[in-house]
Amino acid sequence: MPIEPMTKAVGLDLGTSTIKLVSGNHSYRIPSVIGSPNPGWSGMVQDKSWLNNLIIEDANGNDVYIGELARLQSEIRKSLASEGKMKSIDNSILALKAILSLIMKSNYEQFVVATGVPIATGVEESKELIRGLKGTHEIKVKNDATGETKQMKILVEQSLVMPEPYGTYYNILKTLGVTTAVDSVIVDIGHGTTDILCMYNGRIMRAASGSLEEATDSLTSALSRAIQEKSGKIIRPFDLMKTIEQGKRTILAGGKVLDIGSAVDQSIETISEVIIDETNRLLNNLPPDAWIEKVMVTGGGAYIFGKYLKQAFFEADIVKSPEGVIVPEDAVMSNAIGFEMIAKTKMK
Ligand SMILES: Nc1ncnc2c1ncn2[C@@H]1O[C@H](COP(=O)(O)OP(=O)(O)OP(=O)(O)O)[C@@H](O)[C@H]1O
Ligand SMILES: [Mg+2]
């Protein structure tokens, strides 16, 4: 009779705009927001998935909307992180418990959890998050669309917390089969922040790491302004996201087709230059014998800025060849994938 380990490894990435979870063949993304309940007609909802209709009960027995449900329905919403840091530990733990409930097959399960947090999160907050996640938790969740409730218990046997881009560093080295520490810079371009993490001799170099507000939404905001100036039409940055993701170079505004191609290229160049300058500035804080072998460009922004940055990091002399710049296969999930790998190494 085969005997399988009952503890599951979980990788979490607690970003300023989305939380990601990877465990076995599960892979989830939810917006990093929680919110007040706002009950209403829900019988009409098409999408009855737990992922998009998630409500969790907090310590006081109150309902809290999580992720997409909070984004769409809550009147009072709180972001879990902003300005490059985690905001409320209690709220983050609540959201993490809610997302863990999605992978439960029975009403009791054991986990080893490795979590990535924004780079500017303090040591104290990280420790609090580790303590808060570790141990036994009662979880009560409800599906807003169906009214179904579930009650479960989890045991987090071990909890690790690291800066988000470390997940990609681990993932890439493991995937490449590199077993020695390689001096690297990991540039994680997200929705609202770019995190830069510097690794030297296998250590995280705090003085050479930091975050920037230039990221994917800087591009869509710049475009939105340019479109308004040119055509008088207001197109919200959020609505330009899909256009950018699909690599489209024209849009329809007020019944007219506009060519946004060169504006996109120009913005990509400007934002990339800011990222390169900041990386250079941070690298000045490394010891002189540091030898950056790899620059890893990750996060959803890698799909947009990756190509330009590959060349630009090389031209800025930060790496010795364009091949030294690596983009992971799944840039959006790569931190969480790496954290799951790390969690696995901690299982007995
Ligand atoms: N395939 C894609 N092509 C282009 N852009 C993409 C793609 N996938 C995601 N993006 C963009 O990347 C951004 C999301 O990236 P990511 O998930 O890394 O951000 P995040 O981690 O939630 O944000 P932050 O790091 O600021 O917390 C979005 O702005 C999205 O439009
Ligand atoms: Mg991110």
Q: What confidence tens digit (pLDDT) does each residue in 5-43 have?
A: 689 999 999 988 899 999 999 999 999 999 999 988 766
Q: Are 64 and 97 in contact (CB under 8 A)?
A: no
CA distance 45 to 27: 23
pLDDT band at 131 (very low <50, low <70, confident <90, very high): very high
Beta-sheet strands, E only, within the chain? 7-14, 18-23, 26-31, 33-35, 54-57, 63-66, 77-79, 81-82, 85-86, 108-117, 135-143, 149-163, 184-189, 194-200, 203-204, 210-212, 250-253, 256-259, 294-298, 325-326
Q: Are 341 and 170 in contact (CB under 8 A)?
A: yes
Read off the pTM: 0.94
pLDDT band at 255 (very low <50, low <70, confident <90, very high): confident
Query: Which atom of ligand 1 has the smallest separation from the CA of 241?
Result: 31
Give the CATH number of domain 164-331: 3.30.420.40
Does ligand 1 have an atom closer than 6 angstroms to the CB of 33? no
Tell me what percent of the residues of the chain surpass a pLDDT of 90. Answer: 82
Does ligand 1 have an atom closer than 6 angstroms to the CB of 190? yes
User: What is the CATH topology of the domain spanning 7-163?
Assistant: Nucleotidyltransferase; domain 5 (3.30.420)
Residue 131 dihedral angles phi and psi, to the nearest 5°: -60, -40
Pick the ligand that lies closest to the CA of residue 328. Answer: 1
CA distance 217 to 295: 22
For the cut 80, the answer to whether the pLDDT of residue 4 exceeds it is no
Q: Are 158 and 113 in contact (CB under 8 A)?
A: yes
CA distance 21 to 185: 24
Does ligand 1 have an atom closer than 6 angstroms to the CB of 304? yes
Instruction: Give 304 Cα–ligand 2 centroid separation in angstroms.
Output: 14
* Model pLDDT, residue 348: 67
Give the Å distances, CA to CA, from 289 to 197, 238, 284, 297, 319: 18, 44, 12, 23, 14
Which one of 12, 13, 18, 264 would you pick to mutate in the ligand 1 pocket, going by the greatest count of ligand atoms within 8 A of its CB? 18
Q: What confidence tens digit (pLDDT) does each residue in 139-173 have?
A: 999 999 999 999 999 999 999 999 999 999 999 99
Give the residue-averaged pLDDT of 252-275.
93
* Model pLDDT, residue 88: 87
Name which residue sits closest to atom 3 of ligand 1, judged by CA. Answer: 245
CA distance 180 to 174: 10
Q: What confidence tens digit (pLDDT) does each residue in 218-253 have?
A: 999 999 999 999 888 898 888 898 899 999 999 988
Which one of 332, 333, 334, 337 would you pick to mutate in the ligand 1 pocket, going by the greatest count of ligand atoms within 8 A of its CB? 332
Does ligand 1 have an atom closer than 6 angstroms to the CB of 300? yes
Look over the chain and give the mean of its residue pLDDT values, rounded to a whole number. 93
Ordered DSSP codes for 207-233: GG-EEES-SHHHHHHHHHHHHHHHHS-
Q: Are 65 and 144 in contact (CB under 8 A)?
A: yes
Q: Is 152 exposed, middle or buried (0-12, 13-18, 19+ CB in 10 A)?
A: middle
Q: Are 144 and 53 in contact (CB under 8 A)?
A: yes
CA distance 93 to 145: 24
* Model pLDDT, residue 32: 92
CA distance 15 to 87: 11
Does ligand 1 have an atom closer than 6 angstroms to the CB of 90? no
Give the Å distances, CA to CA, from 245 to 123, 210, 264: 35, 26, 12
Three-class SS state of 99: helix
For the chain, the domains span: 7-163, 164-331
Q: Are 296 and 326 in contact (CB under 8 A)?
A: yes
Q: What confidence tens digit (pLDDT) does each residue in 51-72 have?
A: 999 999 999 999 999 999 999 9
Q: What confidence tens digit (pLDDT) does each residue in 76-110 have?
A: 999 888 777 788 899 999 999 999 999 999 999 99
